[in-house]
Amino acid sequence: MKWEDLPEEMKTDGARPYYDILVKKRASLIIKRIFDFVISLLMLCLLSPVFLVLAILIKLDSKGPVFYRQVRVTTGSRDFRIYKFRTMVQNADKIGSLVTAGNDARITKIGSKIRKCRLDELPQLLNVIKGEMSFVGTRPEVRKYVEAYDDEMRATLLMPAGITSLASINFKDEDVIMDRYLDQGMSADTAYIKYVLPEKMKYNLEYMKTFSFWDDVKLMIKTFIKVLT
C-alpha cells in the first residue's frame, strides 16, 4: 500500500519511519502472506476434530453460539470481524468491559480452560486465510482502543494483525496484570489504555523495526512452547 493511499489518521510522522522500513522488506512480506495462507489451510484440515470437540463442550457448558465474533482493526485501519471460540457468557461485551481480568465473572467454566491453552484463538485461522490477519503481528484491538493510539503506535496498522506476537508471549498472564490494577480501584478500560497497552506496543513496534520472515517462524515456535508449558 502506497503512503498516499493510507487513511489520513495513519499518515503520521511517528508512523513514516516504519513505513519506509517495510517498503524495503516487500519480498519478505509476500513470502509471509503465502506462508500464512498455506499453513492456515493445512492446520484447519488437521485440527477439524479439535474444532468439533470444543464446539460440543462450549454448547454443553452454557447458552449461546459456539463462536464469538467481534469487530477489530487490522491493516490500513480497516474493520474486520475476528473469530474466536466463545469463552464468556452470551452478550458479555454488553454487560462489562471490552478487556477481561482473571477473575471476570463472565468467563464460563469451559471457557476458563480454553483460554489458558489459548485454544479460543484457533478460529482465527479463518481470518488468516482471508488475509485479515497473519500468524505473527500486533494483536488486533477494538476501535475504541485504536483511537487511543499515539502517532507512533499507528504504525502497527501498516501490517496485518496477528494471532501471536512477542507482546502476546510476554503478556501471557495479562488477566493477572489487569487484576492488580483493578484491585487498586482502577477501571478495566483505564488500566488497559494507560498502562498495559503502551507496554505491549513497545514490543510491537520493535518487531516492526526488525521484521523478517524467519524471525516470524521462530516466534511461532516460541509461542507453541509457551502454550505447552
The predicted-structure confidence for 115-155, as pLDDT tens digits, reads as follows 888 899 999 999 999 999 999 999 999 999 999 999 999 99
Q: Which amino acid is at 208?
A: M
| Listed residue (161, 155, 1, 154) closest to 80, CA to CA | 161
Give the Cα separation of 53 and 183 in Å (integer). 36
The reported pLDDT for the residue numbered 103 is 67
Instruction: Report residue 140 as a C-alpha cell.
Output: 488486533
pTM for the predicted model, two decimal places: 0.87
**pLDDT tens track for 69-89:** 999 999 999 999 999 999 988
Dihedral angle, C-alpha 93, 94, 97, 99, nearest 10 ° = 0
The reported pLDDT for the residue numbered 12 is 95
Q: Rounded to the nearest 5 degrees, what angle is found at the Cα of 219, between the Cα atoms of 3 and 146?
A: 45
pLDDT band for position 171 (cuts 50, 70, 90)? confident
Say whether pLDDT at 101 is over 90. no
